[in-house]
Structure 1
Amino acid sequence: MEIKLDKHSTNQASIKINLNEADYQPKVDAKLKDYAKKANIKGFRPGKAPFGMVKKLYGTSVLVEEINNILSSSLNDYIKEQSFKILGEPLPVVEDADAIDWKNQKEFEFEYKIGFVENVDVTLDKSIKATDYSLKVDKKAVNDAIENLRRQYGKMTNPEVSEENDFLYGDLKAADGSYEQTLSLPLSKMDGRSVKKFIGVEKGAEIEFDPSKAIKSDLSEVLNISEEEAAKISGNYTFTVQNINRTEDAALDQEFFDKVFGPDQVKTEEEFVAKVEEILGDNYNKETKVFNEEKIKEILVEKANIELPEAFLKEWLLKANDGKVTEADVEKEFPIYAKQLTWSLISNKIAEENEIKAEHEDVIAKTQDMVREQLAASGLGAQMEDNMDMFVNNYLQGNEGQNYMQMLTAVQNDKVLSLVKEKISLKEEKIDIDKFKELIEN
């Protein structure tokens, strides 16, 4: 057997494997003899068929199977011995494989295309500069959050006279009789001039207006009709009020505090405001943490300057997904894939050089945090804590074990980024939410 590496460029090559009869025939003969002992061929007792007949029936399939086994193990062993880091999987040159005469050939040559990177060089020091943004929680954000909570936990009432931001339930009719619908009309969706007609009215009131001019937001959404239907809504319409619906904001009392945060978690208005501010701060900082770390990754990716085998990777992605994606899909998504792959190479190199490992206990802890966040978002937080082990196990065992591997990678990334932040020059800066939105947009 002979294996040769032919480098076409700094990151693409081909591996050629030459096999002669001595490399594969002993294994083929041994497999055929084993077949002959067990073969059940018509006209012969089990295991008594002539070897020549067994070879004629099964020889080619056994030859293909054994050569494929030799190729697979030889290729893998050869790649492990190399100093470069292979990307994706070796791609067999199909044209050569199709030309093989399995019945008559004695010597075979197989070729595989590979993509690789020779070296990933990452030096972490104070010359690398990044900004660690954190968000200031201003009073307006806290007040807005409290107003939303009071509205969310408020109670519905049916007053006699309408006010701004009420919902009017009633019948909408076109003057020419071409359209009629019963709906709930949100006054907050109407423009400032038109809404005056709907404020201060009682049940039974009839209001004439043009919906296409009066409703300032998406007309199809407000009327719950298609965009095509909404395009036809214009001219004189009458709305007859059947009922007035209003949400009264919840009072800042213990009942409200308990609904929002659970029994006796906060007991005064001051404690409630402080708790809202704390949660907003936590949420803001989760967003800025993700943003900050993505920026650090971008800096390291640029500094590492890793040249990927782009043509090979695009071909491999197309074949690996086996008809699930098109060339256009690969072209469109490749920049994102390339960035993720480059960061993965950098992260693995830093982890290797600094003996960073993701332990099983770390995976469990990170998964627990994720599950807690999901439960809290659905309002099930504390009462489901006793079932935490079940939730964690179900998640990590799901998706044929891929969830566990993804969480393992996430843990390693967390540890790598923590180390990076210690090694580089990180400038802390507090910003407001408007500045943060501007940073994200840019």
Structure 2
Amino acid sequence: MEITLDKHAANEASVKIKLEEADYQSKVDAKIKDYAKKATIKGFRPGKAPFGMVKNLYGTSVLLEEINGILSKSLNDYLKEQEFEVLGDPLPLEEDSQSIDWKKQKEFEFEYKIGFVDKINVNLDQKFDAKNYTVELSDKEVDVALDNIKKQYGKMTNPEESGENDFLYGDLKADDGSYEETLSLPLKDMDGRSVKKFLGVKKGDSISFDPSKAIKGDLAEALNIAKEDAEKLQGNFTFTVQNINRTEEATLDQELFDKVFGPNQVSTEAEFLKKIKTILTENYQKEVTVYNEEQLKESLIKNHPLDLPEDFLKEWLVRANEGKFSKEDVEKEFPAYANQLSWSLLSNQIAKENEIKAEHEDVLEKTKAMIREQLASSGMGSQMEENMDMFLQNYLQGNEGKNYMQMLTAVQNEKVLNFVREQVKPKEEKIGVEKFKELLEN
């Protein structure tokens, strides 16, 4: 057997493997002899058919099977010995297999394309363009959340006359008869001039207006109708009121406190507001933490640009996904894939250099935390701890063991990010919610 490597680019190469008859024939003969002992062929007792006949029947398939096994092992062993990092999987030249005469040839040559990156050097002493943000809530965010809670837990009423923020339920008809729909009209979504027509109206009243001009924002979203229907709402329409719906905000009393946070969790308005702010801060901080991590990753990638074999990787992605993704799909998604691949390569290198490992216990604790969060959000918190072992086992053994490997990778990446953060010490900065939203938009 002869294996040769030809680097024809900084990050792409071809590997050629030449096989002679001595490399495979003994294994092929042994396999055929084994077949002969078990084969049932018409005219012969089981296991008594001549070797030549069995070879004629099964020889080509056995040859293919043995050569593929030799190629796979030899190629993998050879690539493991190289100093560079192989990306994706080796791609066999398709024309090789098409030109082979499996019945007559004794010597074979196979060629594979590979993509790789040379040794990755990580330098954490550079300047990193990343900050570690902490969110601070203002009274505005708490007031908005409080208003939403009071409306969510409020009581629905049907007043005689409409007022601001009411919903008018009724029939919307185009004056030319081209459109008719029964729907709910939210007065809060109407502009200041148009809404005046709808204040003080009663059941049975009819109002003429142009929905496309009167309603602010997205018509389909405001009226809860299909986009194609919303496009028809231009011109003169008449709305006839069937009912008036109003939500009377809940009162800040013990009944509301218990509904929102459970019995006897808070007992005063001050405690209620404090708990709202605490929960909001925790939720926003989770989002900010994810943002901080992504910025740190981006800075690490920016400081360590990797020369990825783009053409090879795009071809590999198309072929590996067996037609699930077209070349156009891969081209569109490749920047995000390349970014994630760069982070993965850098993360693995940092872990290797600094002996950072994800331990089994780390995986268990991270998975438990995830399960607790999911169960708590679905209202099943009371069942949590007593059934935790069952939940844990079901999840980690699910998806043919892939869930465990994903959690293992997540733990290692988390440890690597913590290590990088400790080394580069990004500047701490406190920001408000509005500033955080601006950062997300940019």
TM-score by length of 1: 0.94
Q: Offset of 1:343 from its aligned partner?
A: 0.6
State how far apart, in whole Å, the 2-side matches of 1:208 and 1:337 are.
Answer: 53
Residue 411 of structure 1 corresponds to 411
Q: Distance in 1 between matches of 2:330 and 2:176?
A: 54
Partner of 1:125: 125
Counterpart contact for 1:350–1:416, Cα < 8 Å: yes
After TM superposition, give the deviation of residue 126 of structure 1 in Å: 6.5
Shift of 1:392: 3.3
Q: Which residue number in structure 2 is paired with residue 71 of structure 1?
A: 71
Alignment of 1:138-153 (within 5 A): 138-153=138-153
Please state how far the C-alpha of 1:221 moved relative to its aligned partner: 4.0
> Structure 2: how far apart are the matches of 1:223 and 1:300?
46
The 3-state SS of whatever aligns with 1:15 is: strand
Partner of 1:238: 238
- Cα pair 2:159 2:245 within 8 Å, conserved: yes
AA paired with 2:355? E
Partner Cα separation in structure 2 for residue 212 and residue 339 of structure 1: 43
The CA distance in 1 between the partners of 2:45 and 2:7, in whole Å, is 55
Return the alpha-carbon distance in structure 1 between the equivalents of residues 96 and 279 of structure 2: 63
Q: Runs of 5+ in structure 1 lacking a partner? A: none
Deviates most, 388-397 or 348-357: 388-397
Residue 247 of structure 1: how far off its partner (Å): 0.9
2:91 equivalent to 1:91: yes
Coordinate RMSD, CA, aligned: 2.0
Q: CA deviation at 1:263?
A: 1.9
Question: 1:339 aligns to what?
Answer: 339
Per-residue deviation at 1:436? 1.8
Q: Please give the alpha-carbon distance, in whole angstroms, between the structure 1 residues aligned to 2:189 and 2:303.
A: 50
Instruction: Describe the SS at the equivalent of 1:193.
Output: helix
Contact kept, 8 Å, 1:130 with 1:426, in 2: the verdict is yes
CA–CA distance in structure 2, aligned partners of residues 436 and 224 of structure 1: 30
Change (3 A) 1:379 1:166: farther
- Say whether the 8 Å CA contact 2:179–2:232 is kept in structure 1: no
Name the aligned partner's letter for residue 298 of structure 1.
E
- Partner residue, 1:192: 192
- Would the alpha carbon gap of residues 121 and 178 (structure 1) be closer, same or farther in structure 2, given more than 3 Å must change? closer
Q: Does 1:288 align with 2:288?
A: yes
Going from structure 1 to structure 2, the CA distance change for 1:220 and 1:199 (only over 3 Å counts) comes to: same
| One-letter identity of the residue aligned with 1:191 | D
- 1:181 CA displacement: 3.2
CA distance in 1 between counterparts of 2:304 and 2:235 reads 64
1: CA distance, partners of 2:357 / 2:417? 13
In structure 2, relative to structure 1, the CA distance for the partners of 1:24 and 1:351 (3 Å cut) is same
Q: Matched residues, percent identical?
A: 69
Residue 115 (structure 1) aligns with:
115
Q: Are the counterparts in 1 of residues 172 and 180 from structure 2 also a CA contact under 8 Å?
A: yes
The alpha carbon displacement at 1:22 in A equals 1.1
**Residues 67 and 265 (structure 1), Cα distance of their counterparts in 2 relative to 1, 3 Å cut:** same
In structure 2, the partner of 1:56 is 56
**Counterpart amino acid of residue 198 in structure 1:** F
* 1:157 alignment partner AA: T
Q: What does the per-residue CA deviation read over 1:149-185, in whole Å, with 9 as the maximum and x for residues that have no partner?
A: 1111111111222210011122334445554433222
Listed as ranges, the matches of 1:269-348 within 5 Å are: 269-348=269-348
Between stretches 424-433 and 378-387, larger displacement belongs to: 378-387
Tell me how far 1:344 sits from its aligned partner.
0.4
For the 8 Å contact 2:186–2:223, the answer to whether it is kept is no
- Partner AA of 2:352 in structure 1: E
Confirm whether residue 420 of structure 1 aligns to residue 420 of structure 2.
yes
The amino acid across from 2:124 in the alignment is L
For 1:70 and 1:126, locate their aligned partners in 2 and report how far apart those are by CA, in whole Å.
46
| Mean Cα deviation higher: 364-373 or 287-296 | 364-373
What are the Cα deviations for residues 109-138 of structure 1, in whole angstroms up to 9, with x where unaligned?
Answer: 111111111201112236445311111211
Worse overlay, 310-319 or 154-163:
154-163
Deviation at 1:25, TM superposition (A): 0.8
Paired residues in the alignment total 442
In structure 2, what is the Cα distance between the partners aligned to 1:260 and 1:388? 26
Bigger Cα displacement from structure 2, 94-103 vs 335-344:
94-103
SS in 2 for 1:355: coil
The range that moved more, 122-131 or 135-144, is 122-131
What residue number does 1:217 align with? 217
Match of 2:370 in 1: 370
Shift in CA distance, 219/295, structure 1 to aligned 2, threshold 3 Å: closer
Q: 1:234 to 1:326 in 2, by over 3 A?
A: closer
- Whether the 8 Å contact between 1:153 and 1:249 is mirrored in structure 2 is yes
Query: Shift of residue 43 of structure 1?
Result: 0.8
User: Whole-Å Cα distance in 2 between the matches of residues 179 and 130 of structure 1?
Assistant: 54
Unaligned runs of 5+ in 2: none
Residue 249 of structure 1 corresponds to 249
Moved more, 24-33 or 129-138: 129-138
Counterpart in the other structure of 2:360: 360
Pick closer, same or farther for the CA change 1:174–1:66 going to 2, 3 Å. closer
1:395 counterpart letter in structure 2: Y
Query: Residues 224 and 430 (structure 1 numbering): CA distance in 2 closer, same or farther, change over 3 Å?
Result: closer
Conservation of the 8 A alpha-carbon contact between 2:5 and 2:14: yes
Deviations 1:170-225 (A, max 9, x none): 23344455544332221112221111121122333333333333223333444454
**Most deviating of 120-129 and 10-19:** 120-129
Inter-partner Cα distance in structure 1 for 2:152 and 2:390? 32
